[in-house]
Structure 1
Amino acid sequence: MPGLLSPLTRAVTYTRWLHLVVGAIVPIVCAMVYPGLVKPTPGDWALIAVLPVPLVLAAAMVPSMRRAEGLQARLMLFPGPHARVRSEEDPGVSAAPSASWSDRARTGAWMVLRMEAGLALGLVSDQLPALSLSLAGAAAGSPGVTDSLLTLPGSHWWYALLVPVPVLVLLAVAAAAGALMAQAARRLLGPSVRERLSELEQRTERLLERNRIAQELHDSLGHALTLAVVQAGAARAAADPEFTGRALEAIEETGRAALEDLEQVLLMLRDTGRPAGPRPALGEADRLLESARSSGARVDAEVTGPLEDVPGPISREGYRMLQEALTNVLRHAGPVDVRVRIAVEQARLRLEVRNQLGGGAAAPAAGAGGGRGLRGIRERAALLGGEARAGQDGGGWLVRVDLPLR
């Protein structure tokens, strides 16, 4: 029983009722002009329901009508955040203007359905309370106090027991009609195929942007923290004031660069309108190499080909991939011998970072971080149409990236 009565305690039941009844305004206004509302016959009511249809269909051809109907349906037919019984489900109703004739046709079908259902519910909302008043009057000995379509025979006291029945029937009809109209709104005002594709594209772009920002933070902050940890440990082990001073200087420089990268990311997230600063590119690879050397790694670097001919997006992503590869070396192998090769040849950019595994160090994929950095390198390379491979090579570890320049 509580389950049957629960719709009657929800505010959305009554907003749906109001939404439907408002749809009856157009036929009622038209009926005031013709055929009139003074004692209309059933044939007059049929005419009242049909006459405004061409007018409503013509209005549905205006693209903005779909947006207006969609906004009304969202507000009135579905529980909002203020509702006692909240619904996290998306209403599935579009609030965009009509973009095709299919959208206009569905909008027209919705507006006609809303008008006819509203007119029918309006008549029921008028007649059932009138019937309750007639029952009350007949129970009191005064039958015929209202113009109800149902004529009561005589006056009987037991009519008083039936007074609540029409009201309960009206509430049940209103709740059922509102639920059915909510389902119809999803079908007739729901997003079109074009809107679904556009929404999917926008969602994909947002996810890609979030993934890119997360990768930027992982690469930049992970590199800075790894260098700081390695250099601090080396300075403590060396117990040499001069070495400690150089290590602190390197930590300061790396931390400052990481803060600059973090500020650029925060500017993008806040959308302040201020232009973000330039992101580092392969032309600044010396900074990464010097940071690794300051951590104790013995880096042998070889750069061949014109780096200035590498397109900006590829150069910036290449910098991040080189940064992550060097970070993995320091994190998993420590200050070991590292060979870095950057080559621009035959319209391709090739990066290689080869290092010793160190004193029994595990491969990066099995160490701390679970290989997230290497996965990020592969994802960056795949997005640029290239490929990245990483694995043991002889007695060391090799990260190789091959990217097309076009």
Structure 2
Amino acid sequence: MVKGIRSLLSGSTYAGALFAYCGALASIPLLPLAMVPGLVWGAAPYGAKAALTLLVWAALLGAVGLARTTRRVLVACARRLLRVPLPDPVAAGTSPNPPGADRWRTPLWLLLHVALGWAGALVSGVLIVAGLVLPGNWLGAEAGVSLFGWSARVEGGWGSWVVAFGCLLLAASACGVVTSTLRRLAPRLLGPSSAERRALAAERERRLAERNRLAHELHDSIGHTLTATTIQAAVAGEVLAADPVAARAALRSIEESARAALEDLDYVLGVLREEKAATAPTRTLADLPELLERLRHAGAVVETELSGELARVQGTLSRAAYRILQEGLTNALRHGAGGPVGVRVAATPDGLELSVVNRTGAPSPTGSGPGVFPTSGHGLPGLAERVRLLHGEIEVGQDGPERWRLAVRLPVRVSA
């Protein structure tokens, strides 16, 4: 009971009733068109003409409800006035055509909406008028209301005020019933159909996968850039006086690395803000020489072994291979113990083999200290997930007493 009284004091109850009454008013322009068949049928009884008019009126309302624009407007209004959390209708072309039962949900909602609007407006209107008229001390000794042969008369005094208050309370209750009914019907008739729910779920899964991919891309790009620029800055500081040319080359490499990382960051932030970036930066195996050159400017000794037709490895596989090698080289720079870093890329008719090998130094008994690679963080798990999504194989770990090896094999389709 307390909940019912609270709902009668809530503005959302009357906002929902207003939504219903506006739907009733919006149906009035269709009434003259619905009356045309009855007027043409001149010899028919009045009851038959009224029934025909109602049927044609309902058919016109159903036809209006078939329009996609009508559904969008109704969903937006129901969200605002009924306070029902409804998602936007799936745009045309992004979901399969709805079956017949789903296609007729909006016309059915519109018919029920208009019917409830007219019924609620009539009941609450009569009760409000009665509540204003019945108090006898306003209109004389006695006052009454007559409607459709039914009449009510209340003598003056406090009893008339009690009846008036009761009429107003019933009018508010009628508004509550109309709003509550529409709120129950809205998710079933205006909410997403089963096909639309599948399309929305697929879209959410696609967006989540895209965001996860962007997170990996950003981690790989920024992590590598910070590692490389830190080492390059240290090299530039050491050789600034003795070898200005090498120092300038290191600073130029820092500038190029930072610019590439800023491009990646700008693209990722644009996607996360749901803005359209101008161009999506793509790093592929074709950019591997530039990556290796930046590492050499940082003072690293990189020994490469490239075999197979790498230029024929395209698309997602080429981009993933670049990021895998970038992460492996970043770890070698950050955690390695110096010495040459071996990079091997081999393209075969049925696979792409990648490996990064570097010195780690002798691990300490506690498993920590220089030259020991981390087993936590986002880098290695991100690599493993990337390889798994491409149905590949990955091996990471100690390779002998003082070597760390990252080996990845990816199934490949060589494009023609």
Corresponding residue of 2:410: 403
Deviates most, 331-340 or 19-28? 19-28
TM-score, normalised via structure 1 length: 0.80
Corresponding residue of 2:121: 122
Count of residue pairs the alignment pairs up:
386
Corresponding residue of 1:216: 217
What pairs up with 1:19-58 in 2 under 5 angstroms?
19-25=19-25, 26=27, 30=31, 52-53=54-55, 55-57=57-59
- C-alpha distance in structure 2 between counterparts of 1:28 and 1:280, whole Å: 60
Corresponding residue of 1:199: 200
Instruction: Name the Cα RMSD after superposition.
Output: 3.7
| Contact 2:396/2:405, CA 8 A, preserved across alignment | yes
Question: Residue 85 of structure 2 aligns to a residue in which SS?
Answer: coil
| Contact 1:299/1:339, CA 8 A, preserved across alignment | yes
- C-alpha distance in structure 2 between counterparts of 1:96 and 1:12, whole Å: 29
The residue type paired with residue 212 of structure 1 is R
1:164 equivalent in alignment to 2:165? yes
Deviates most, 94-103 or 17-26? 94-103
1:321 equivalent in alignment to 2:324? yes
Change (3 A) 1:93 1:244: same
Paired residue for 1:378, among 384, 388, 394? Answer: 384
The residue type paired with residue 402 of structure 1 is R
Corresponding residue of 2:315: 312
1:394 equivalent in alignment to 2:400? yes
Corresponding residue of 1:181: 182
- C-alpha distance in structure 2 between counterparts of 1:123 and 1:79, whole Å: 20
- C-alpha distance in structure 1 between counterparts of 2:359 and 2:340, whole Å: 6
How much does 1:108 deviate?
2.9
Change (3 A) 1:130 1:95: farther
Change (3 A) 1:163 1:382: same
The residue type paired with residue 361 of structure 1 is P
- C-alpha distance in structure 2 between counterparts of 1:280 and 1:69, whole Å: 44
Identity %: 31
How much does 1:213 deviate?
2.6
Corresponding residue of 2:357: 354
What pairs up with 1:1-400 in 2 under 5 angstroms?
5-25=5-25, 26=27, 30=31, 52-53=54-55, 55-57=57-59, 59-61=61-63, 64-65=66-67, 67-76=69-78, 78=80, 90-92=85-87, 94=89, 99-137=98-136, 141-148=140-147, 149-152=150-153, 154-233=155-234, 241-242=241-242, 246-247=246-247, 249-263=249-263, 266-267=266-267, 269=270, 274-276=278-280, 279-358=282-361, 360-361=369-370, 363-366=372-375, 370-395=376-401, 396-400=403-407
Question: Residue 329 of structure 1 aligns to a residue in which SS?
Answer: helix
- C-alpha distance in structure 2 between counterparts of 1:299 and 1:172, whole Å: 80
Corresponding residue of 2:365: none
- C-alpha distance in structure 2 between counterparts of 1:76 and 1:382, whole Å: 44
1:49-105 alpha-carbon deviations (Å, 9 max, x no partner): 99535643464356753541442343245459xxxxxx7x83346376784312222
Question: Residue 395 of structure 2 aligns to a residue in which SS?
Answer: strand
Change (3 A) 1:139 1:365: same
Change (3 A) 1:69 1:221: closer
- C-alpha distance in structure 2 between counterparts of 1:22 and 1:62, whole Å: 16
The residue type paired with residue 342 of structure 1 is V
How much does 1:394 deviate?
2.1
Deviates most, 64-73 or 22-31? 22-31
Change (3 A) 1:186 1:96: farther
- C-alpha distance in structure 1 between counterparts of 2:60 and 2:372, whole Å: 70
The residue type paired with residue 71 of structure 1 is V
| Contact 2:144/2:151, CA 8 A, preserved across alignment | no
- C-alpha distance in structure 2 between counterparts of 1:247 and 1:312, whole Å: 36
| Contact 1:66/1:96, CA 8 A, preserved across alignment | no
- C-alpha distance in structure 2 between counterparts of 1:79 and 1:362, whole Å: 64
How much does 1:200 deviate?
2.0
Question: Residue 167 of structure 1 aligns to a residue in which SS?
Answer: helix
Structure 1 residue ranges without an equivalent (≥5)? 37-43, 81-86
Question: Residue 190 of structure 1 aligns to a residue in which SS?
Answer: coil
The residue type paired with residue 126 of structure 1 is G
Structure 2 residue ranges without an equivalent (≥5)? 39-45, 363-368
The residue type paired with residue 183 of structure 2 is A
How much does 1:143 deviate?
3.3
| Contact 1:19/1:77, CA 8 A, preserved across alignment | no
The residue type paired with residue 124 of structure 1 is V
How much does 1:267 deviate?
4.9
Change (3 A) 1:402 1:151: same
| Contact 1:63/1:99, CA 8 A, preserved across alignment | no
TM-score, normalised via structure 2 length: 0.78
Change (3 A) 1:145 1:93: farther
- C-alpha distance in structure 1 between counterparts of 2:232 and 2:28, whole Å: 81
Change (3 A) 1:127 1:372: same
- C-alpha distance in structure 2 between counterparts of 1:93 and 1:177, whole Å: 24
